[in-house]
Amino acid sequence: MKRFGIYISRVGIFLLLLGLSNTASAWHDETHLAVAKAAGYAKWYNATGADIAKVKAGEVERKNHYVNNPSGTVVTAKMVLNQVRKYNDPNDEKGHLYGAIVSSLRNYLVEKKEGKYGEYHLAYCAHYVGDLSMPLHNTLYDSFNEKHHGTIDGTVNNEVLEHTDKIKIYPIEIKSEDDLIRQIARIANISIKLGYLLESEDRLLNKEEAYAQLSHSASLLNAILDYAKD
Q: Which phi-psi region, left, alpha or beta, contains residue 165 (left: φ > 0; alpha: ψ -120 to 50)?
A: alpha
pLDDT, one tens digit per residue, over 38-97 is 999 999 999 999 999 999 999 999 999 999 999 999 999 999 999 999 999 999 999 999
State which amino acid sits at residue 64: N
Q: List per-residue pLDDT tens for the chain, 230 residues long.
A: 445 444 444 434 333 333 434 445 689 999 999 999 999 999 999 999 999 999 999 999 999 999 999 999 999 999 999 999 999 999 999 999 999 999 999 999 999 999 999 999 999 999 999 999 999 999 999 999 999 999 999 999 999 999 999 999 999 999 999 999 999 999 999 999 999 999 999 999 999 999 999 999 999 999 999 999 97
Which of 27, 41, 80, 36 has the alpha carbon at shortest distance from 186? 80
pTM score, whole prediction: 0.90
The pLDDT of residue 6 = 44
Between CA 122 and CA 19 the distance in angstroms is 28
Domain range 2-229, CATH architecture = Orthogonal Bundle (1.10)
* Boundaries of every domain in the chain: 2-229
